[in-house]
Structure 1
Amino acid sequence: MDPHLLATFVAVARHGSFSAAAAELGYTQSAVSQQVAALESDLGLALLTRRPVAPTPAGRRLLEHADPLLLRLRAARADVLRAAAPPGHLLRLAATPLALNPVLAGRLATACARRPRLDVDVHTCGRDDVAVTVARGEADLGLADGIVAPSDPLRLPETGPMTATGVAEEDLHVMLPHGHPLSGRTALRLGDLADARWLRTPLCPLPRLRELAGDGFPAAVGYDGEDVHTVLNLVAAGHGLTLLPASAGPGPCAGVRLAEPRLVHRVELLHATLPDGPGSDVAAILTGG
């Protein structure tokens, strides 16, 4: 199966349009049609209906495989090029919004002090995007975080060979407004808060809370950004509760340790093969070496 043909098919299916896929890929519409037809001929199956443009059952099944296959190919290319590239003076770090906590930020500062000529670019994105960005070679290192049981690894997308090392674990705190009836407690059980209203924010996804503690957790105000201060201000104003690592608050809120279930905020360092140079040096320092 030709990966170029597969990538074209994915673009057409995503847009639901041959012309839109052609504009994205820089091909003519005729060339896109020919490439999809060639893939269908190779498989002996129709992958798309034409009016409207939509995946057939066979096309939907192929789409389930397509993104991981194409990512693995890009990851392999990036890994080979990375191994042959000479050391540079730019380190690209992809990180989830809560991953670069004070401890890890301090270790990064230590790494920069040891390499005064090193330039570091930090890009924030979602957890899955961190893994994909590193796999594609668009970042040298990644820091991803999540809520897990102590010592459990994060659930990351399949991206091919990737080293994931735990570099930080800390307690989780329930963030409440000052004056909340539970704000004076020393610890809280998540199940006791299932009827409270919770912010809808990617920093603490409600589906994850329901997965951990059962049904409930009605949604309050939604915020789809990544700024922790905005989330804390929304909590302080009474718009809903949230769950954050201890180092993220309390700010204008009251933070109470989560005692049950026993969960932690975990941060993992992600990287592919690292040749000797800035990337491997910084990775060693971030892991506490």
Structure 2
Amino acid sequence: MDPQQLRTFVAVVDESSFSAAARALGYTQSAVSQHIAALEADLDATLLTRRPVAPTEAGRRLLEHARPLLLRLDAARADVARLRQVRPGRLAVVCTPGALTPAVADALVGARTAAPLRAVSVRVCDRDQAVRAVSTGAADAALVDGAVAPSDPLPLPDAGPLTAFAVAQEPLAVLLPVAHPLAGRRGLRLPDLSAARWIDAPDVTVALTQLRAVAQTDGFGPQLAFLGGDFAGLGALVAAGGGLTTAALSAATGMPGVTAVPITEPRIVHRVELLHPRAPGAAAAELADALRPSR
């Protein structure tokens, strides 16, 4: 399969339009149509319906392979390019919203202080975008967070030879309004909260689908859906009684009207991991040394 035809196919699916995909890729619409026709001929399958534009069953199957394949191709190009790139004056870091803990923030400021001429940038995005940014060379390092069993690493997309290690780990907690009847508890069983009102905020914290999976029970119905990376805004909704959510135990510190109660069952923790290329630049290596837990 031609990688460029795969890129065109993914763009058409994402845009749900041949013309919009052409604009996004800088092609003519006829070129996009030719790419799709050639790909369908190569696979001997119809990949897209035309009105409306949407993937067929074969197209959905291909899409499952296309995104990881294209990411690995971009990662390979970036990995080779790093051999000849030297950017001593830059440190570009991407973070998921829950990864920017006080300890992480101190390390980032320290990286800036240690090299006054270094330009340090921090961008917040979701986990898949963070992994892609490091893999493709758009960022020097990524800090990603998530909820896992204590001994498990974070599940991350296959994006080539990246190094990952935990920089922080603490109990996962339920965030509640301070006046909530359960706010004074020392711990909470997650299955006992399946019928509570929840805020689904997958861009900021654990998605409710994952809570159902780890609690091994139905429920966890969303009272509100919250999209975006504004963690302070999510806290304001919790404080106002909009529903419960989960976060690192320390997340409620300084959050008005919110308290955090650790989850005692099942055993699940909030972990922050640093990702960087197998051969990081000097700035990323210094950041990794600053964040690597002492043994």
TM-score after normalising by structure 1: 0.91
* Residue in structure 2 matched with residue 195 of structure 1 by the alignment: 195
- Would the aligned equivalents of 1:83 and 1:273 in 2 still touch at CA under 8 Å? no
**Structure 1: runs of 5 or more not aligned:** none
Query: Aligned letter for 1:123?
Result: R
The Cα shift of 1:69 comes to 1.0
Q: 1:232 to 1:20 in 2, by over 3 A?
A: closer
- Residues paired across the two proteins, number: 289
- Would the aligned equivalents of 2:169 and 2:272 in 1 still touch at CA under 8 Å? yes
Q: Distance in 2 between matches of 1:179 and 1:220?
A: 18
Q: 1:117 to 1:238 in 2, by over 3 A?
A: same
User: How do 1:230-269 residues align onto structure 2 when only pairs under 5 Å count?
Assistant: 230-250=233-253, 251=255, 252-269=257-274
- Would the aligned equivalents of 2:86 and 2:281 in 1 still touch at CA under 8 Å? no
The Cα shift of 1:128 comes to 1.7
Say which SS state the counterpart of residue 94 (structure 1) adopts. Answer: strand
**Structure 2: runs of 5 or more not aligned:** none
* Residue in structure 2 matched with residue 115 of structure 1 by the alignment: 115
Q: Deviations over 1:189-230 (max 9, x none)?
A: 112222211112122321111111121223222221322222
- Would the aligned equivalents of 1:83 and 1:275 in 2 still touch at CA under 8 Å? no
Say which SS state the counterpart of residue 84 (structure 1) adopts. Answer: coil
Q: Distance in 2 between matches of 1:106 and 1:241?
A: 29
Query: Which moved further from structure 2: 121-130 or 102-111?
Result: 102-111
Q: 1:243 to 1:51 in 2, by over 3 A?
A: closer
The Cα shift of 1:267 comes to 0.6
The Cα shift of 1:41 comes to 3.8
Say which SS state the counterpart of residue 216 (structure 1) adopts. Answer: coil
Query: Aligned letter for 1:134?
Result: V
Tell me which stretches of 4 or more aligned residues in structure 1 moved more than 4 Å: 49-54
Q: Distance in 2 between matches of 1:276 and 1:59?
A: 39
Q: Distance in 2 between matches of 1:263 and 1:48?
A: 41
The Cα shift of 1:125 comes to 0.8
Q: Distance in 1 between matches of 2:265 and 2:136?
A: 38
Query: Aligned letter for 1:231?
Result: L
The Cα shift of 1:56 comes to 4.4
Query: Aligned letter for 2:269?
Result: V
Query: Aligned letter for 1:122?
Result: V
Q: Give the percent of matched residue pairs that are identical in Structure 1 and Structure 2.
A: 53
* Residue in structure 2 matched with residue 25 of structure 1 by the alignment: 25
* Residue in structure 1 matched with residue 76 of structure 2 by the alignment: 76
Query: Aligned letter for 1:153?
Result: P
The Cα shift of 1:113 comes to 2.0
- Would the aligned equivalents of 2:187 and 2:263 in 1 still touch at CA under 8 Å? yes
Q: Distance in 2 between matches of 1:276 and 1:180?
A: 48
Check if 1:98 corresponds to 2:104: no
Q: Deviations over 1:34-79 (max 9, x none)?
A: 2333333444444445555444444333222111111111111111
- Would the aligned equivalents of 2:140 and 2:281 in 1 still touch at CA under 8 Å? no
* Residue in structure 1 matched with residue 127 of structure 2 by the alignment: 127
* Residue in structure 2 matched with residue 166 of structure 1 by the alignment: 166
